[in-house]
Amino acid sequence: MSKILLGLDIGTHTIKCVQLSREKEITALLAAGYIPTPISSISSNTQNDEKVIAGSINRLVHDMKVSTTDVVVSLPSSKVITRVVQIPIMSEKELDSSIQWEAEQYIPWQLSQVKIDYDIILRDESAGKMSVLMVAAPIILIEKYMRLITLSGLNPIALEPDILAVTRVISEGFETLPNILVASIGATTTDIALIRDKILIYTKSYPVGGSTLTKAIAEELGFEASQAEEYKKTYGFEEDKLEGKIAKILMPYFTNILNEMEKTITYFKEQYPKEEIKLAVINGGTARIPQLMTLMTKNIGIDSQISNPLSVLSIDPNILPIVSPDSPIYTTAVGLAMKEVE
Ligand SMILES: Nc1ncnc2c1ncn2[C@@H]1O[C@H](COP(=O)(O)OP(=O)(O)OP(=O)(O)O)[C@@H](O)[C@H]1O
Ligand SMILES: [Mg+2]
């Protein structure tokens, strides 16, 4: 029997959803779709806003003609803490009772107000240490997402930070590469991460994204937001169009992202001096900005590619041409629907 699951990624700009079926080794894309996030943004907290967003999600899955309501949903990495921590080797039982104490050092919130999940990712017996992936999410955030999903008529099976879903897809897509630098550039947030041996070893969120760029163009050129958005998508970092005017406006924002990517590479080299990162994979809607990959490769000195989550899926030829132009925006949703769930 194949297992069918939805992956739902509620971004500040776009809500993305995919339906995957899994049978033995084959994961197939059955449906995919996206809609704009209603203006009453996902970050607001009123009951009415939740209803509006739930209404949009309901419409999206209805249009996709999904055949299940079981869904794995992403939490924005910027609102949760995802960290790999090194701790002395101990049994799972011991860890279970000490994780709260371990977590306290990394969490800026009251422990009574967060839910902590963890996973032992590496045991180094010789060093007497283990690496634990720890995720801490505010209970209020989890409750809000559970309400939203239920309101939209879906059945929440699991929630996880979006960067973990991205890690799942990218490590499967580039199986032969041990180390990968990741940048997920959405509308309001950029997450930078390191994957080593298919495991997320580091991640950090920055409050910059495509909306920041659109706003900058609008302010600089006195455009309406919609016109600024068009210019961003059409010209991006093209130096030889409009005398590189748009590229010049965007550059300072990207310089920040590039600097953070470089710092992340430096961190990796300090941690693993004998290893190398050979590829940067960029995903999220803003990955499609013209000439971004050239700019990345040139500046960080690592070959950069746009993520293509479809490469790990088997796809009905009828839906391939519909989904492929937008493929980088589905990375998180695909990773969510690929999660192993009971
Ligand atoms: N072809 C394109 N060129 C440049 N930017 C694009 C293109 N297509 C989409 N975008 C930008 O991508 C962003 C939306 O991407 P995405 O759906 O990944 O964001 P989100 O998940 O809603 O945001 P966040 O994760 O930050 O909450 C928007 O800022 C949009 O302008
Ligand atoms: Mg996003």
Instruction: Fill in the DSSP letter of residue 316.
Output: -
Q: What is the mean pLDDT of the chain?
A: 93
pLDDT digits (tens, 9 = 90+) for 98-154: 888 888 888 988 889 999 999 998 888 898 999 999 999 999 999 999 999 999 999
Indicate the domain borders of the chain: 81-137
Backbone angles phi, psi at 279, to 5 degrees: -145, 140
Which one of 9, 10, 13 would you pick to mutate in the ligand 1 pocket, going by the greatest count of ligand atoms within 8 A of its CB?
Answer: 13
Confidence of residue 41 (pLDDT cuts 50, 70, 90): low
> How far apart, in whole angstroms, are the C-alpha atoms of residue 340 and residue 342?
7
Which one of 226, 229, 232, 286 would you pick to mutate in the ligand 1 pocket, going by the greatest count of ligand atoms within 8 A of its CB?
Answer: 286
Look at residue 1 and tell me whether its pLDDT is greater than 80.
no
Distance 214 CA to ligand 1 centre (A): 10
Instruction: Tell me the residues surrounding ligand 2 (ion) with CB < 5 Å.
Output: 11, 186
**CATH code linked to domain 81-137:** 3.30.1490.300
Look at residue 50 and tell me whether its pLDDT is greater than 80.
yes
> How far apart, in whole angstroms, are the C-alpha atoms of residue 277 and residue 16?
30
* Contacts (Cβ under 8 Å, ≥6 apart) of 51: 151
Using a 6 Å CB cutoff, which residues line ligand 1?
A: 11-14, 186-189, 209-211, 214, 229, 232-233, 284-286, 288-289, 329
Beta strand pairing status for 155-161 and 70-75? parallel
> How far apart, in whole angstroms, are the C-alpha atoms of residue 315 and residue 260?
35
Rounded to two decimals, the pTM is 0.95
* Mean pLDDT to the nearest integer, 241-258: 93
pLDDT digits (tens, 9 = 90+) for 65-92: 999 999 999 999 999 999 999 899 998 8
3-state DSSP of 9-77: EECCCEEEEEEEEEECCEEEEEEEEEEECCCCCCCCCCHHHHHHHHHHHHHHHHHCCCCCCEEEEEECH
Q: 35 has which bridge partners?
A: 15
Residue nearest ligand 1's atom 6 by CA: 286
Confidence of residue 45 (pLDDT cuts 50, 70, 90): low
More confident residue, 44 or 285: 285
Distance 10 CA to ligand 2 centre (A): 7
Which one of 8, 10, 14 would you pick to mutate in the ligand 1 pocket, going by the greatest count of ligand atoms within 8 A of its CB?
Answer: 14
Q: What is the pLDDT of residue 184?
A: 97
